[in-house]
Amino acid sequence: MLSSSKQLFSQAQGLIPGGVNSPVRAFKAVGSDPLFIDRAEGSKVIDVDGNSYIDYVCSWGPLILGHAHPEVIKAIAAAALKGTSYGAPCRQEVEMASMICEAFPSIEKVRMVNSGTEATMSAIRLARAFTGKNKIIKFEGCYHGHADAFLIKAGSGLLTAGVPTSPGIPPEWTAYTLIARYNDLQSVRTLFEEHHEDIAAVIVEPIAGNMGLVLPEPHFLQGLRDITTQYNSLLIFDEVITGFRLTYGGYQNIAGIKPDLTTLGKIIGGGLPVGAYGGRQEIMDLIAPQGPVYQAGTLSGNPLAMAAGVATLRMLKEGHIYHILEQRCLKLVKGLAGLFADAGEKVCINHLGSMFSVFFNDSEVNHYETVMRSDTERYAAFFRAMLQLGVYLPPAQFETAFVSLAHEEEDIDRTLERARQALEMLPKRG
């Protein structure tokens, strides 16, 4: 008899392309069928078959407090009793905007949208309007959503599928997107030397999180700031993942760098759909209705998403939470490193704060080329073993895992014990 997850996946494949509403959920990269989740609480997700898993996906990052945190649920319920959508301004969006501007010194004004993709595509439109230039620079392996301008050597699901770009994008449009190498300032300088009169902006994940977790090398981000300033182009930090994940603010707060524009999402919605982009007032004032750059959205600033986000940020403002997250993630990472070493497995574990990635790779992973040398089949085998033992890791080598406040010491200890068992289950190497 088929499990409920398998039954639902079979039914979904006849109704939804690939049976899922976002590609990486299909579990193709790990040679398995997806879980269908029935409910979640704290550090656990429970599938429709009743199996419980310690969850390190955390809805791909937003659930920094864990699933169904009581304060967030209370805020959503209270907001819902007043109506789910107005198509008009509400108090919560003003409160959220105030909290973002307070937390990010680089953001003087902010516009709410409904997703990270909306935020990034709006930010580059705004950058082009402000500079009067047309081209943008992005980095191979960095993912900024599924807008046409970004689906060139992108990360996340495109890396998993081995697709360098996406059909349906006219070739002429790709001429406006230039590709540089993450952590390689010279590749950026070369592009500016060739196209300096027409580069509107450089967009970058300050911490790359969509080719697995890849950290910026010293001086890389400051170098981008210096180069864009020199050529009168804008610097856009895509902090959809890192916004409020590592500190109360963004990675820019830690690095001490002020980009011209910042895109946000995930955590600021407390688990509900959300996005935002913001920056200097003189740039943001070009957006309609104040300026000529058009961007709109019926559900932008939705009262439920804003209420959930405000409740989340209020808790995160208690700074000790980040210390707890960092210590729990560090314990997990150190424990995993020891287990892999004892098992003779060559891995590189990148981590920062409450984010980590396990690369089955015998070299340091610091840019796209080294990411792509990873043993995806070995990762898939480890993923399947961990899932069988009740631990839910990202279902692809090229994604980032997250620790939430709901992950207790017991969860970390149990995860390490399950990892030891999983390593024993892996097929022996040739």
List residues bridging with 392 in a β-sheet.
55
Check whether residue 191 and residue 112 sit in a common domain: yes
Specify whether 81 is located in the same domain as 204. Answer: yes
Q: Which two tokens stand for residue 300?
A: 């932008």
pLDDT of residue 163: 43
How crowded is residue 385: how many other Cβ atoms within 10 Å of its Cβ?
Answer: 18
Task: Provide the CB-side half-sphere exposure for 83 (13 A, CA).
Answer: 10
Strand order, beta sheet including 348-352: 348-352, 355-359, 401-402
Among the options 266, 322, 379, 411, which is catalytic? 266
pLDDT at 164 over 50: no
The CA distance from 359 to 350, in Å, is: 8
Picking from 267, 295, 316, the residue at the C-terminal end of a domain is: 316
Catalytic residue among 47, 55, 184, 238: 238
Domain co-membership, 307 together with 325: no
What mean pLDDT value characterizes the chain? 93
Q: Please report the pLDDT score of residue 155 as a whole number.
A: 42
For residues 232 and 235, give the distance between their C-alpha atoms in angstroms, rounded to a whole number. Answer: 10
Positive or negative, the CA dihedral 261, 274, 401, 408 is positive
* R_g of the chain computed on alpha carbons: 21
301 closest CA partner among 80, 122, 77, 85: 85
Shared domain check, 370 and 243? no
Residue that is last in its domain, among 288, 316, 344: 316
Higher pLDDT, 209 or 161: 209
pLDDT in tens, 183-242: 999 999 999 999 989 999 999 999 999 899 999 999 999 999 999 999 999 999 999 999
Per residue in 360-410, pLDDT (tens digit) is 999 999 999 999 999 999 999 999 999 999 999 999 999 999 999 999 999
pLDDT value at residue 159: 40
Give me the phi and psi of 337, to 5 degrees please.
-60, -40
Active site residue 6: no
- Same domain, yes or no: 256 and 405: no
Q: Residues 143, 251, 277, 368: which is the catalytic one? A: 143
For residue 29, what are the CA distances in angstroms to 7, 36, 249?
20, 17, 33
Please identify, among 267, 293, 316, the residue that sits at the C-terminal boundary of a domain. Answer: 316
Q: Same structural domain for residues 45 and 86?
A: no
64 lies in a domain? Answer: no
| Both tokens assigned to 411 | 């969860």
Q: What confidence score (pLDDT) does residue 172 get?
A: 76
CB–CB of 304/130 below 8 Å? no
Give pLDDT, residue 23: 85
Q: Using the predicted structure, report yes or no on whether residue 165 has a pLDDT greater than 90.
A: no
Token pair belonging to 342: 């004892």
Q: Strand locations in 205-320, DSSP E?
A: 234-238, 261-265, 275-279
- Which amino acid belongs to residue 58? C
- Per the structure block, which two tokens stand in for 230? 């020199």
Q: Number of structural domains, the chain?
A: 2
Nearest in space to 114 (alpha carbons), one of 307, 304, 308, 300: 300
Q: Is 266 a catalytic residue?
A: yes
The predicted pLDDT at position 2 comes to 74
Q: Residue 54, SS3?
A: strand
Residue 294 and residue 325 in one domain: no
| Residues 192 and 179 sit within 8 Å (Cβ to Cβ) | no
| Cis amide leading into 289 (omega within 30) | yes
- Burial-class residue 421 by CB neighbours within 10 Å (0-12, 13-18, 19+): middle
Mean pLDDT of the region 27-44: 95
368 as an active site residue: the answer is: no
CB 224 within 8 A of CB 182: no
Task: Provide the domain limits for residue 47.
Answer: 4-56+319-425
> Which stretches of 97-175 are assigned E, i.e. beta strand?
109-113, 135-139
Answer yes or no: do 246 and 212 share one domain: yes
Torsion from C-alpha of 99, 103, 108, 109, nearest 10 degrees: -40
Per-residue model confidence (pLDDT) at position 169: 77
Share of the chain above pLDDT 70, in %: 96
Identity of residue 327: Q
Pair (198, 242) in one structural domain: yes
Q: Is residue 308 part of a domain?
A: yes
Q: Residues 345, 351, 355, CA angle at the centre, nearest 5°? A: 120
Q: What's the mean pLDDT in 329-345?
A: 97
pTM for the model stands at 0.94
pLDDT given at position 156: 46
- Residues 334 and 241 placed together within one structural domain of the fold: no
Decide if pLDDT at 167 tops 80.
Answer: no
Cβ atoms 267, 62 nearer than 8 A? yes
How many Å apart are CA 114 and CA 292, to the nearest integer?
Answer: 21
Residue 327 has pLDDT above 60, yes or no: yes
At 348 the three-state DSSP class reads strand
Whether 310 and 371 share a structural domain: no
Q: Is residue 430 part of a domain?
A: no
Q: pLDDT tens digits for 53-97?
A: 999 999 999 999 999 999 999 999 999 999 999 999 999 999 999
